[in-house]
Amino acid sequence: MSAPAHRQPPKGTRDFYPPEMAVRRHIEGAWRQASIDHGFEEIDGPTFEHLSLYTVKSGEGIINELFSFRRAGGDDDYALRPEFTPTLARMVAARATSLPQPIKWFAIPTHFRAERPQRGRLREFIQWNVDLIGVEGPQAELDVLSTAIVAMERLGLGPSDVRVKLSHRGVVAAALHALGAQSERLADAFALLDRRDKMEPAEFDARALAIGLNGSASQRLTEIARTKLAITSDAGAIATALGCAPEDAQPLVELTQRLIAADLGAWCELDFGIVRGLAYYTGSVFELHEATGSERAIAGGGRYDKLIELFGGPSMPAVGFGMGDVVLGLLLRDRGKLPADEGASLLPRPDVFLISAGAADAEALLLQLAAQMRREGLHVRHTYKATRNVGKLLSEAGKCRARHAIILGAELEQGMVAWKDLDASSQALVPVGEILAKIVAAPRSS
Amino acid sequence: MSAPAHRQPPKGTRDFYPPEMAVRRHIEGAWRQASIDHGFEEIDGPTFEHLSLYTVKSGEGIINELFSFRRAGGDDDYALRPEFTPTLARMVAARATSLPQPIKWFAIPTHFRAERPQRGRLREFIQWNVDLIGVEGPQAELDVLSTAIVAMERLGLGPSDVRVKLSHRGVVAAALHALGAQSERLADAFALLDRRDKMEPAEFDARALAIGLNGSASQRLTEIARTKLAITSDAGAIATALGCAPEDAQPLVELTQRLIAADLGAWCELDFGIVRGLAYYTGSVFELHEATGSERAIAGGGRYDKLIELFGGPSMPAVGFGMGDVVLGLLLRDRGKLPADEGASLLPRPDVFLISAGAADAEALLLQLAAQMRREGLHVRHTYKATRNVGKLLSEAGKCRARHAIILGAELEQGMVAWKDLDASSQALVPVGEILAKIVAAPRSS
């Protein structure tokens, strides 16, 4: 046995030392609590699935982006989950008849992509998934969008940091129709819109022509993709911007009305360039972006009413989104929404730091008090150093941000211990037999 | 695209629907809080590591128990983590000079073993890891054992449910020496002890002879392995039981003294049959077992002072343990320490269930109140059904265990809403403008 060649984690994966883990738990905590407050219940699935689960939705093309494997001696092909939706759809399909509806689930699993790591994109990342299944109307969209926005708020972000960009495939389809796009080529039209920044104008025009859009219609198509509107429930304004009939804008109007009623309008805008590459969206689509548009999307989602069926379940309407931790973490750092110490001050604060200062029976008493206080749910620390230098030990207590210090020193002979409130910088002598009750009754560290 | 062949998770892995997830979070919550209260800080690492990291400690033999893979087009061999210790050792080694000491870390990651699934053993499982690095004395053992025991207590278990079985390789080595075992064959002697139940007596005797133990010494060896003592800090009693000198028992005495001082003695016993298969333990070894011994070990650990060095770090003393969720979950279920509804009552309780009962402006008000209350951190639900039947909606509120219901009904015309405290079965009419403040001030659901 020899020392391993690798001191670093695999390329594109991360070690979470305590400060990095504290940042991760801070983000996950905001996600979890916003989900629960909106009535979503947490689920999880296996870290790997049968490989075939991922080709159902995404085709064989996805295989190169997956980490796939077999068990030695086994003949099942597995893959590390690249996203959560196939697991979610499988879980819904397996119990569709027995699950109470609507199904409101969230999950915060790790995911894996065998891509080249780059800014905002890693090979292993954490993604928050929120899905509402079984509700047709725009209340479902409102609830998932509100969940995303409340989580942003709790992380200290506001409408000037994050924009929620909304579109609706049905509304944009009406506009494409009005331009002359063939009904049976709408999926191609959305794919073209989605990839518009990745091709030359000539190629774009040629492809537009192939789906029934001539030169000036192709020009209008790119204009639609650049159309942004402040949030509005005015069907006429949307219709004018898109060149469709006001009644075609109705699905978006019903959603924007609710967003405004829930006081979420300031976060949102209409952006008809939002397409979402995935073919399975059937209605609303949305993305959360850093306000200046400088990073990748923070989150993306929409309505996918055909997906559960695709995975062998019944036909069920559904809305959901996914939000990764990597781009969001960059944004929080850039906006100064994480402590300057990169997480250290997010670590849990000790309630009590116990100091044994020399008396012969102090050591056993320290062990006993520590055990009693921990049984009361207090976060208790003590030194592991041999020193009995109270000054040094108080400085150790301060360094770990302990709220109280209890010193078992010379006063033990009179049956007393010294209790220091390190936040208030006050001190008192307390009988040994009373210190537990006093410290349990004191305000706790957050 | 066609419906997938698989509705179930891969063999040996689990779907966590909300009730199962609530049980998992209940267990993880007890683990996490006990760790924090003992001053441990949370870390995590990658879900997969370079394959070579796992052969350092365990040799090539472990490869068949791993899920291993390469990235398509890549040439690095990776494996899903079967345990956390190699990641921990790598992380310590990489920053050994800069990390404050002692290092007190815990982690609650998922792990993977490509074994045949059976009762108490799955292919994907969650394992709590607690490690204290940089402390030589028995205070380190006390702290990790106390952390494990406090977590058991918080899950409702007591000394009649779970036994902590302690041994010490140094003390048992002294006993083996006294029997005539050769110093350079001690590792073989421990391996023999560990596998004693898996071989015939004749084979056992033959192997004992090979390491210097004749027939009667071989007999004594099996007696030692069957020796159990109530927790004691009496060196003489330990020495008599083992046939070693009282001073040889000192390492165990120092630990038991501390366990008794911390009032943890009732949970513990000495059991010299506890060996722990892993070659890397260098001192104390311990396991947590269901009290009647009917399941696999709940947890296992001990002192491993050479391990960080083995992974290329400096020489550092270390103590730690791992506890999986599968055996513990079986025990909690068997002992009735989980709700009879298998987790449903562990789901978060809504603070408020909002009911719109017909008034024209009630819908918009409901959206506004829901948004305001959630921004205050309240868990708020409402129906998605079209009904305005207040009785049905109150029954829905009761079913999800909401604490309060607020009814936006006919009283809205007088600017009032009905506020029902569903726990206290009391009701009051409250002005619309005051309900938010009143509900924020009301006691929260746990």
Which pLDDT tens digit goes with each residue over A345-392?
A: 899 999 999 999 877 789 899 999 999 999 999 999 999 988 889 999
pLDDT at B430 over 80: yes
Mean pLDDT of B312-340: 94
Rounded to an integer, what distance in angstroms lies between the CA atom of residue A259 and that of residue A146?
A: 8
Identity of the residue in A67, A72, A262 whose CB atom sits nearest the CB atom of B71: A67
pLDDT at B3: 52
- Retrieve residue A247's tokens: 């009644």
- B102 upstream amide cis, omega within 30 of 0: yes
- Average pLDDT along chain A: 92
More reliable by pLDDT, B134 or B296:
B134
State the nearest Cα–Cα gap between A341 and chain B, in angstroms. 15
pLDDT at A445: 56
Angle between helices A186-194 and A215-225 (to 10 degrees): 60
Element (H, E) at A439: helix A432-441
Rounded to an integer, what distance in angstroms lies between the CA atom of residue B317 and that of residue A365?
A: 26
Question: Are the C-beta atoms of B41 and A383 separated by less than 8 Å?
Answer: no
pLDDT at B93: 95
Preferred mutation among A17, A135, A309 to probe B, highest tally of B CBs within 10 A: A17
Among A316-330, B12-26, B275-289, where is mean pLDDT lowest? B275-289
Provide the chain B residues 24-83 that lie in CB contact (below 8 A) with chain A: 24-25, 33-34, 36-39, 41-50, 52-53, 56-57, 59, 63-64, 66-69, 71-74, 76, 78, 80
Instruction: Give the three-class secondary structure for A336.
Output: coil
Residue type present at position B97: T
- Retrieve residue B326's tokens: 């599968």
Rounded to an integer, what distance in angstroms lies between the CA atom of residue B138 and that of residue A141?
A: 57
Burial category of B28 from C-beta neighbours within 10 Å (exposed 0-12, middle 13-18, buried 19 and up): middle
Q: Does B380 touch chain A (CB under 8 A)?
A: yes
Would you place residue B4 in the very low, low, confident or very high pLDDT band (cuts 50, 70, 90)?
low
According to DSSP, the residues that pair with A126 across neighbouring strands are A110
Cβ–Cβ gap A44/B37 under 8 Å: no
Residue type present at position A62: I
Cβ–Cβ gap A39/B374 under 8 Å: no
pLDDT at A64 over 60: yes
Residue from B130, B104, B124 nearest B48 by CA = B124
B113 contacts in chain A (CB < 8 Å): none
More reliable by pLDDT, B279 or A118:
A118
Mean pLDDT of A333-348: 88
What are the phi and psi torsion angles at A99 (to 5°)? -75, 135
A36 contacts in chain B (CB < 8 Å): 348, 379
Rounded to an integer, what distance in angstroms lies between the CA atom of residue A413 and that of residue A411?
A: 5
Question: Are the C-beta atoms of B95 and B63 separated by less than 8 Å?
Answer: no
Would you place residue A280 in the very low, low, confident or very high pLDDT band (cuts 50, 70, 90)?
confident
According to DSSP, the residues that pair with A290 across neighbouring strands are A162
Distances (CA, A) of B420 to A254, B130, B410, B423: 31, 46, 15, 9
Rounded to an integer, what distance in angstroms lies between the CA atom of residue B436 and that of residue B370?
A: 10
pLDDT at B129: 98
Provide the chain B residues 387-426 that lie in CB contact (below 8 A) with chain A: 400
pLDDT at B1: 44
State the nearest Cα–Cα gap between B397 and chain A, in angstroms. 12
Identity of the residue in A39, A153, A311 whose CB atom sits nearest the CB atom of B3: A311
Element (H, E) at B418: strand B416-421
Mean pLDDT of A170-196: 86
B81 contacts in chain A (CB < 8 Å): none
Rounded to an integer, what distance in angstroms lies between the CA atom of residue A243 and that of residue A422?
A: 66
pLDDT at B136: 94
Nearest chain B residue to A110 by CA distance is B47
**CA angle B158–A354–B253, rounded 5-degree value:** 55
Residue from A82, A77, A25 nearest A58 by CA = A82
pLDDT at B250: 94
pLDDT at A246: 94
- Retrieve residue A323's tokens: 């939000």
- Retrieve residue A400's tokens: 């770990």
Question: Are the C-beta atoms of A24 and A16 separated by less than 8 Å?
Answer: yes
Where on the phi/psi map is residue B405: left (φ > 0), alpha (ψ -120 to 50), or beta? beta
ipTM over 0.90? The verdict is: yes
pLDDT at B294 over 70: yes
Cβ–Cβ gap A90/B4 under 8 Å: yes
